Chain A
Amino acid sequence: MSATAVHSLWTTAGEVTSAAPGDRFTAPTIEYAQLAPVLIVVGVAVLGVLVEAFVPRRHRYTTQVFLTVVALAASFAAVIGLAADGYATKSAHIAAMGAIAVDGPALFLQGTILLVSMVSVFTFAERRLDPASHGNRVDSFAAQAGSVPGSDGEKAAVKAGFTTTEVFPLVLFSVAGMLVFPAANDLLTLFVALEVFSLPLYLLCAVARRKRLMSQESAVKYFLLGSFSSAFLLFGIALLYGYAGTVSYAGIAAVVDGGVQDIDPALADTMGNDALLLIGGALVLMGLLFKVGAVPFHMWTPDVYQGAPTPVTGFMAAATKVAAFGALLRLLYVVLPGLTWDLRPVMWGVAIVTMVGGAVVAITQTDIKRLLAYSSIAHAGFILAGVIAASPEGISSVLFYLGVYSFVTVGAFAVVTLVRDAGGEATHLSKWAGLGRRSPLTAAVFAVFLLSFAGIPLTSGFSGKFAVFKAAADGGAAGLVVVGVISSAIAAFFYIRVIVLMFFSEPKADGPTVAVPSPLTMTTIAVGVAVTLVLGLAPQYFLDLASQAGVFVR
C-alpha cells in the first residue's frame, strides 16, 4: 500500500467536512424513552454515590436499599412498557445512533437481569444472619473494606457499627452495564458495557465480612484474569475494525457477507482480509466465553465463586451469565452469521469440554460454593449447545434457559448463606450432613434447587434443558445433545449425592445451625422456588414469550 493513497483519504475527508460550513456538526438523536431502563439505573446509581457523601451514616442503609429496589422496579416497568409498545416484536429498532438495539432478545434479557438483580439485592440487604456485634445488625459485607482484617482500625470500625453501604450503588452500576451488554449494537458499546459491569463486580468480591483474605484473593484473581481477557477482547475489536473499517455490527456483517463492493484499492490488504476477520472474531468470542465461564477460559470461576461474599456470588453467577450469553448470541447471530461454518468446530469443541469438564470436576468438590461453581460451568456448556443451534428455536431456548437458570442460582446461593457455624457460612460439604434432619424445610428447598439444576422433570431445569437440547438436535447438533445428556447424567450424580448427604446421613454433634432470615432472603428463596415449580409445571407461556422475543434487529 502506498502512503500517498492513504494520505489522499485524509484530505478528501477534510474537504468534505469543510465544504459544508452550515452543518459541520450534527447533534446526535438520542431516544431517551427507549434507553429509559438503563438511564434510570445509572441515574439512581449516581444518586447512591451522593447518598454516601451526604446522608448521615445511620440512615444510609435504609436509603440505599430503598433507592436500589425502586430503581430496579422502575427500570423493569420501563422494560415492560417498551415491550408493550411493540419494541420486542414488530417495531424493534436501533436507538442512540446505532449504539443500542431495542429488540426482543435485548428486552427479554434486560427484564430477566432486572428481576434477578432485585431478588439478589434482597440477599445483599439481609442483616439477621450474622449475630449482632456491639448492638449493631450486620450484613455480609465488611465494616470498612479499606481496613486490614484483624487490625485495630477494623475493630474500631466494627465497634462504631459501620457497614459498606457502597455495595448498593456498585450493584446498580454493574446492573447498568449488564443491561447495555446484551443490547450493544457496536463493538465500542460492547467493550464499555463489559467494563462497566465488570469493574464493580471486582470490587464487590473483595468486601466480605468473614474470610476477608479469601475474599481479597478472589478479587485479585478475578480482576487480573478479567482484565487480561478484556484486553484480548479489545484486540479482537481492533482487528475487526481493521477488517471492516467500522465498529457497528451491521457494518461488519455487510463486509463479512461481501455486500461492500467498492473497497478502496489502498485498503485492499486490510479491508475484507479474512485473517483479520477470523483472528479478530476468535479474540472477541474468547472475551465473551471468559465472562460466560466456558471451559478453556473457566479457571477463575471456582475461586471467585468460593471467595466472594455469597450474595455477590449469587448475583454474579446469575446476572453475568445472562448478560454475557445475550452479547454472545447477538455477536454470533448479527455480526458473524457468515462465519457460522468456520466457527462451528470451535464452538462444538468448547461446548463439549465445557459440559463434560464442568460435570466431571464437580464430582470431586468438597465445598458447596465450589460445587455450584463447577455446576455453573456445566450449565454454560448446556446453554452453548442451544447457542450453536443457529436457529430461531436456538435463540428462544437460550433465552428461556437463562431465565430459568438465573433464578434457581440466586435461590441456591441464598440458601447457602443460611447454613452457618461460628466461623460464618459453613460451606464444607461434610458440615451439610444430616441437614435434612435438623431443618427439613431448608434442606427441602435446597433439594428442589438441586433437582432443578439436575434437570429432573417437573422442575424448571428440565423444561430449560429440554428446550435447549431439542433446538440443538433440530439444528443439526445431535452429537452435542448426546454429550449433553451424558454429562447431565454425570452432573445428576453429584446433585443427588448432596441430597442424600442432607437427608440420609446422621447429623454431626458440632454441625452448623440454620439461621432464620428476615423476609428479604425469604422472598429471594420463595421466588426461586416459585419460578422453579411454575416453569417446571407450566412452561408453555414463558416458552411462547421467549420465542416471540427471539428475533434480533439488525
Chain B
Amino acid sequence: MNPVNYLYLAALLFTIGASGVLIRRNAIVVFMCIELMLNACNLTLVTFSRMHGNLDGQILAFFTMVVAAAEVVVGLAIIVSLFRSRHSASVDDASLMKL
C-alpha cells in the first residue's frame, strides 16, 4: 500500500483533533483532542520514517510518546485541581479574568 495514504490519514486525524480543541468545552475532552493531534504527528513521523528509510522519525515518535505521557500527568493534575475547586471542568466557566 502506498505510504502516502497514511499521511492523508494523519492530516485528517490532526484536523479532527484541532477542530475538537476549538469546538469542545470540557477541559478533559479538549485535552484528549490535543492527544489526538500528538498521535497524528506520530503517525506522520513514522510514515515519513518509512518513506525515507531512516530511523529518525521513529525515534522522534518515541520521544513524543514520553512527552505526551508527561503532559498527561501535568495536565490532569491541573484540570483535576480546577475541577475540585469549581465542581466543573468546563473551559467556559473558568472566566474570572476578562478576555
Contacts and interface: CB of A to CB of B under 8 A. Distances in A.
A227 B75 contact: yes
Given A191-B67, A213-B86, A216-B78, A227 B34 contact: yes
B10 to A, nearest CB: 8
Contacts of A353: none
A192 interface: yes
Nearest to B41: A234
A82 B59 CA distance: 31
Contacts of A270: 48, 51-52
Contact of A235 (B2, B44, B63): B44
A246 B56 contact: yes
Given A219-B78, A224-B91, A245 B67 contact: no
B77 interface: yes
Given A10-B53, A216-B81, A199 B74 contact: yes
Contacts of B10: 238
A239 B57 CA distance: 11
A187 B85 CA distance: 39
Contacts of A235: 14, 37, 40-41, 44
Interface residues of A, number: 56
A238 B41 contact: yes
B64 A234 contact: yes
Q: What DSSP secondary structure best describes chain A's contact surface?
A: helix
Contacts of A148: 84-85
A147 to B, nearest CB: 9
Contacts of B7: 242
Contact of A239 (B3, B44, B79): B44
B21 interface: yes
Contact of B27 (A12, A203, A224, A228): A224
Interface stretch (A1-9, A29-37, A441-449): A1-9
A384 to B, nearest CB: 23
B85 A213 contact: yes
Given A9-B53, A216-B81, A216-B85, A1 B71 contact: no
A221 interface: yes
A212 interface: yes
Given A10-B53, A13-B53, A231 B34 contact: yes
B4 to A, nearest CB: 7
A370 B50 CA distance: 48
A245 B52 CA distance: 6
A231 to B, nearest CB: 4
Contact of B48 (A192, A224, A238): A238
Contacts of B96: 213-214, 217, 307
Contacts of B44: 235, 238-239, 242
A458 interface: no
B85 A199 contact: no
A290 interface: no
A10 B58 CA distance: 14
Interface string B37-50: 11011001101111
Contacts of A423: none
A195 B71 contact: yes
Given A217-B96, A235-B41, A241-B56, A6 B50 contact: yes
Contact of A220 (B59, B71, B91): B91
Task: Determine which residue in B44, B49, B56, B97 has the highest number of CB atoms from chain A within 10 A of its CB, and name it.
Answer: B97
B33 to A, nearest CB: 9
Nearest to A243: B48
Interface residues of B, number: 53
A547 interface: no
A1 B4 contact: yes
A74 interface: no
Nearest to B3: A6
B79 to A, nearest CB: 6
A202 interface: yes
Nearest to A244: B52
B67 A195 contact: yes
A220 B70 CA distance: 16
Contacts of A220: 27, 78-79, 82, 91, 94
Contacts of A238: 10, 41, 44-45, 48, 57, 60
Contacts of A191: 60, 63-64, 67
B34 A228 contact: yes
A212 B63 CA distance: 33
Contact of B51 (A216, A224, A239, A267): A267
A241 B75 contact: no
Interface string A231-268: 11011011101100111000000000000000000110
A3 B47 CA distance: 13
Contacts of B74: 199, 202-203, 223
Nearest to A270: B51
Contacts of B59: 188
A145 interface: yes
A206 B48 CA distance: 38
Contact of A214 (B48, B67, B78, B97): B97
A245 B60 CA distance: 12
Contacts of A218: 97
B81 A206 contact: yes
A460 interface: no
Given A231-B37, A266-B51, A307-B97, 7 more contacts: A1-B4, A12-B53, A219-B78, A223-B79, A224-B27, A267-B51, A307-B96
29 contacts: A3-B1, A6-B3, A10-B53, A145-B81, A146-B81, A149-B85, A192-B63, A199-B70, A199-B74, A202-B74, A202-B75, A202-B78, A220-B82, A228-B18, A228-B21, A228-B37, A231-B17, A231-B18, A231-B38, A232-B37, A241-B49, A242-B48, A242-B52, A245-B52, A245-B56, A270-B48, A271-B52, A303-B97, A307-B97
CB-CB nearest 5 A-B residue pairs:
A9-B53, A231-B37, A242-B48, A238-B44, A245-B52
